[in-house]
Structure 1
Amino acid sequence: MLGRGFLLGAAVAAGGLLLIPGVAAATARAGRPLARSSVKYGTAAYLSLQKAASEAYEHFEDMAAEVRAEMHSAAQEATEAASDAASDAEPATEQTGTV
């Protein structure tokens, strides 16, 4: 493992190296293609992640709609069963005719 002191020293040395005339310009010229490719791959990764996330969201919404439909149909069945039970439980009133 590299120690903190080593990493700090390396960062200071790299920063000092950039202060030498011409080194910063050469580093910028050499770093531009690397930066462009990094941005390119980063953008491609972002777009892929965005597509995967939108597909996952769509699947989740489909499942939520299915659950809502099942809950609605179950509630309707329970209501129908309750109304059928209520109509069966009503006492049958016989009409007796007294003259």
Structure 2
Amino acid sequence: MYVVQITLGPSEYITQVDWSVGPFKLKEIEHCITSIKFVTNQATYGPFGHAVDSTHYSLPVLNNGSVVGMFGRAGDYLHAIGFYVLPF
């Protein structure tokens, strides 16, 4: 396992999150988060993971809002993810 830490700059904020949900065949898991990508007003981080045979989702934050928090449900793997969005 590897860990990636993303540190945003003082004026950087998340404007979009893309992720995919699908099977993890090596562990015979039917549904888990298979990849995630964060887009900020200054850079793109990711995608992290593999999205083969997965359903893709995107959360574009409209009107200069930003993602200010995340939450999820996990066991050994991340099974669900959600986001808190602050409107402009």
TM over 0.5: no
- Shorter chain as normaliser: what TM range? under 0.3
Higher Rg of the two aligned structures: 1
Pick the structure with more helix per residue: 1
Between 1 and 2, higher relative CO (CA 8 Å, sep ≥ 6) is seen in: 2
Normalising by structure 2, we get a TM-score of 0.17
Pick the structure with more strand per residue: 2
